[in-house]
């Protein structure tokens, strides 16, 4: 039976390997799209931040008679003062780089307890630059506030440090090789889940519903190989493409991080791969294999039900969205402890991937995930084989 | 030899039952071309799909070279070459790749496949495009490739659903010549068609199928004699009128 499946498998694989567009979209695109996306986002974000910081802002500071706040603000923002001293709210509303800071109370002695300074910042929240300038003014006001507080404490013979009697020091006890893997544990399972489904969707539907639509399935069925072999050959083929697709996605993700694409997610994020040994990689590959097997058999089953590609795409879409939802929902979650979660399809693979990536391997979780996914895949393959053995696979009318 | 006995088939679609075949019987013998003639939706394709083991009859029995399609489908498939005009070869594989693929499915040894492929390529004039991707072939070339694919295991019986449907005049001629040649070699050929001239030119025996029932089944010349005519069209419309099918249409 497996020999016959291999004939189907070899033919399908040969067909896709001769299709340049398919090779590009299934294998090359995932490898280059992530670095391109990450680097583009990183480049755009840092370019915006640089532009925001380098822009010359006009700040109308009202009430800073002694100029002390203006002096502090110079450490935070490149600006020139609007000398009008009259607030021009219309300009603040229309301009991206004009904000107003109103200070009330600078005429009193702020070193005296009871005297306060009221500060109001007028800016436009819909403008990125105006937001940046307002944020920098807030930072400057915080520093100004600390300065005043220090002066008050000095009159009482105290310092700012005296207000913080508790000194905190964090000691990370995680193994050194496991540090810096959190970000990978957040991102990789999500991308793997999406690309496994996205990678197998089109080819899975093409080899089932597509063949039916083209009329090329019937001649294959009128052959002496068993229908179960045909079904298995197709599942193996889709599974292979899905696994390759995910592996290339993984490579793409690594390239993106190495090239500094993690800046796209808020700056330098340490990505540590030093702790990955051959054992971790084999475990990761096994997760990928069973996940791809599950996705492939599910898509082949759905595709075999559908009469054409369009109908098949409609049937598959909810499952694809479910995979995306599972990816997003578990993105920031840590692996759960309850063992029954590892029997849930999709999320079990995500949790075990997180375990492996953060170098916390639990055999019990891994085995439950592996066995449950194998069970689901077997049931789905059984369903595909039954469908192929019935005349419903052709969905004929008359 | 193909024998179809009292075969009935009903399809259920959206809780609606459609009787596609009702007590259909016919026989196709080696060295003859048997034609199922009928309008669209008469049940021709269903009948041929049952013969080819793609569908199972609800009632009745079909035997191909003595093997039951229900009890020994694998044996039946070994002896059948199935072709349909709906089959559109596509993809990046060449005609040669597909021929080898179907030969492997039929467990034909590689050296035998090579020899048969050469014979078929010479016969169907395929040598110029044997290595070309099927996506880049013309309709006629694709049809020739499909014929080669379905015959690579040298079947005794060929089942061809609407053999000349959608083909240009030159490819039609290649297909009809090929079917005649197949008959001369003592093979059994069953075709379905809704084109009377195809049935007239090609078939030794014709069964007229209307609304899932065989209403006439005989050798062409005997049929003409019984209806005192010299063409199939007269026979068809006389039978259709008698069965009340023309009124329904």
Enter the ipTM: 0.83
Q: Please provide the DSSP assignment of A80-92 as one string.
A: EE-TT-S--HHHH
Report residue A396's pLDDT band, with 50, 70 and 90 as the boundaries.
very low
Q: Cβ(A212)–Cβ(A319) under 8 Å?
A: no
Poorest-confidence range of A219-228, A386-395, B23-32?
A386-395
Q: What is the pLDDT of residue A398?
A: 36
Listed by start position, the domains of chain B span: 2-248
The whole-angstrom distance between A226's CA and the closest CA on chain B is 8
* Nearest alpha-carbon partner for A221 in A378, A379, A383, A390: A390
Q: What is the pLDDT of residue A271?
A: 57
**Which residue of chain B is at minimal alpha-carbon distance from A214?**
B88
Residue located via tokens 């702790």: A275
| CATH 3.40.190 domain span(s) along chain A | 52-162
Query: Tokens standing for B186?
Result: 């003592």
Pick from B104, B146, B209 the residue to mutate for testing the A interface (most A CBs within 10 Å): B104
Q: Cβ(A183)–Cβ(A331) under 8 Å?
A: no
pLDDT tens string A168-186 = 888 877 776 666 667 778 8
pLDDT tens string A106-147 = 777 877 878 888 999 999 999 999 999 999 999 999 999 999
* Nearest alpha-carbon partner for B87 in B11, B162, B187, B189: B162
Residue located via tokens 């819909």: A126
Q: CA-to-CA distance for B117 and B145, rounded, in angstroms? A: 10
- Decide if pLDDT at A273 tops 80: no
Report residue A200's pLDDT band, with 50, 70 and 90 as the boundaries.
confident
Is the CB of B88 less than 8 angstroms away from the CB of A216? yes
Strand segments (E) across A54-117: 57-62, 79-81, 98-104
**Which residue of chain A is at minimal alpha-carbon distance from B47?**
A398
CATH number of A52-162: 3.40.190
Is the CB of A18 less than 8 angstroms away from the CB of B88? no
Q: Please provide the DSSP assignment of A170-190 as one string.
A: ----S-GGGTT-HHHHHHHHH
Report residue A260's pLDDT band, with 50, 70 and 90 as the boundaries.
low
> Check: CATH 3.40.605.10 for B2-248?
no
Contacts of residue A360, defined as CB under 8 A and 6 or more positions apart, other chains included, come to A178, A335
Which of B82, B101, B150 is the closest to A7 by Cβ? B101
CA distances from B130 to A166, B8, B122 (A): 84, 41, 11
As a whole number, mean pLDDT of residues A3-25 equals 89
Averaged in consecutive runs of 10 residues, what is the pLDDT profile of chain B (249 residues)? 94 82 94 92 92 93 94 91 79 91 92 94 90 88 88 92 81 86 93 89 93 92 91 90 71
What percent of chain A is predicted at pLDDT more than 70?
93
Report residue A297's pLDDT band, with 50, 70 and 90 as the boundaries.
very high
Q: Cβ(B159)–Cβ(B80) under 8 Å?
A: yes
Which of A18, A216, A398 is the closest to B41 by Cβ? A398
Q: What is the mean pLDDT of chain A?
A: 86
Report residue A397's pLDDT band, with 50, 70 and 90 as the boundaries.
very low
Contacts of residue A21, defined as CB under 8 A and 6 or more positions apart, other chains included, come to none
Residue located via tokens 């996940």: A291
Q: How distant is the alpha carbon of residue A203 from its chain centre?
A: 25
- DSSP structure class, residue A296: H
């Amino acid at each position: 039976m497996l020999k016959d499946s291999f004939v189907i498998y070899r033919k399908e694989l040969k067909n896709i390997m001769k299709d340049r567009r398919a090779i590009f979209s299934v294998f090359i695109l995932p490898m280059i799209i992530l670095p391109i996306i990450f680097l583009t986002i990183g480049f755009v974000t840092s370019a915006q931040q640089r532009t925001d910081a380098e822009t010359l802002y006009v700040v109308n500071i009202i009430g800073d008679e002694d100029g002390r706040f203006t002096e502090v603000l110079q450490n935070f923002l490149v600006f020139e003062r609007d000398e009008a001293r009259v607030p021009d709210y219309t300009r603040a509303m229309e301009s991206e780089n004009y904000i107003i800071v109103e200070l009330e109370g600078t005429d009193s002695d702020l070193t005296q307890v009871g005297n306060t300074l009221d500060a109001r910042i007028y800016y436009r929240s819909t403008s990125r630059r105006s937001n940046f300038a307002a944020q920098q003014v807030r930072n400057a006001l915080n520093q100004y506030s600390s300065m005043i507080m220090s002066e008050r404490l000095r009159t009482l013979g105290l310092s700012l440090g005296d207000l913080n009697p508790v000194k905190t020091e964090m000691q990370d006890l995680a193994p050194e090789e496991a540090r810096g893997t959190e970000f990978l544990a957040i991102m990789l399972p999500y991308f793997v889940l999406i690309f496994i489904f996205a990678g197998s969707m089109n080819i899975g539907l093409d080899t089932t519903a597509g063949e039916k639509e083209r009329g090329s399935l019937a001649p294959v069925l009128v052959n002496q190989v068993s229908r179960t072999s045909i079904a298995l050959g197709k599942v193996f083929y889709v599974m292979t493409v899905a696994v390759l697709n995910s592996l290339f996605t993984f490579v793409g993700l690594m390239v993106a991080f190495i090239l500094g694409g993690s800046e796209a997610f808020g700056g330098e994020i340490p990505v540590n791969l030093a702790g990955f040994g051959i054992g971790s990689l084999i475990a990761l590959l096994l997760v990928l294999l069973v996940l791809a097997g599950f996705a492939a058999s599910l898509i082949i089953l759905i595709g075999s039900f559908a009469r054409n590609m369009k109908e098949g795409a409609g049937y598959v879409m909810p499952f694809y969205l479910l995979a995306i939802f599972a990816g997003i929902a578990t993105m920031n979650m840590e692996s759960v402890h309850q063992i029954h979660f590892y029997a849930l399809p999709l999320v079990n693979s995500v949790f075990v991937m997180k375990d492996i990536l953060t170098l916390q391997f639990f055999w019990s979780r891994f085995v439950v995930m592996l066995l449950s996914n194998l069970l689901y895949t077997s049931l789905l393959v059984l369903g595909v084989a039954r469908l192929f053995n019935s005349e419903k696979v052709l969905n004929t009318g008359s | 030899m193909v024998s179809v006995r009292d075969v009935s088939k009903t399809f259920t679609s959206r809780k609606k039952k459609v009787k596609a075949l009702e007590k259909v019987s016919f026989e196709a013998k080696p060295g003859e071309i048997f034609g199922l003639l009928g309008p669209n939706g008469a049940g021709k394709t269903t009948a041929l799909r049952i013969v080819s083991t793609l569908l199972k009859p609800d009632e009745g029995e079909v035997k191909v070279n003595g093997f039951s399609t229900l009890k020994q489908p694998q044996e039946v498939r070994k002896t059948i070459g199935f072709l349909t005009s709906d089959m559109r070869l596509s993809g990046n594989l060449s005609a040669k790749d597909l021929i080898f693929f179907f030969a492997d499915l039929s467990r034909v040894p590689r050296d035998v496949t090579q020899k048969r492929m050469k014979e078929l390529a010479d016969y169907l004039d395929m040598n110029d495009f044997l290595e070309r991707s099927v996506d880049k072939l013309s309709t006629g070339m694709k049809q020739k490739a499909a014929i080669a694919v379905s015959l690579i295991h040298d079947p005794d019986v060929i089942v061809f659903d609407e053999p000349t449907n959608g083909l240009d005049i030159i490819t039609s001629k290649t297909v009809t010549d090929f079917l005649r040649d197949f008959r001369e070699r003592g093979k059994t050929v069953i075709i379905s068609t809704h084109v009377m001239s195809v049935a007239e030119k090609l078939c030794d025996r014709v069964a007229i199928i209307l609304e899932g029932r065989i209403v006439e089944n005989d050798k062409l010349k005997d049929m003409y004699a019984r209806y005192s005519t010299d063409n199939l069209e007269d026979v068809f419309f006389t039978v259709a009128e008698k069965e009340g099918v023309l009124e329904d249409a």
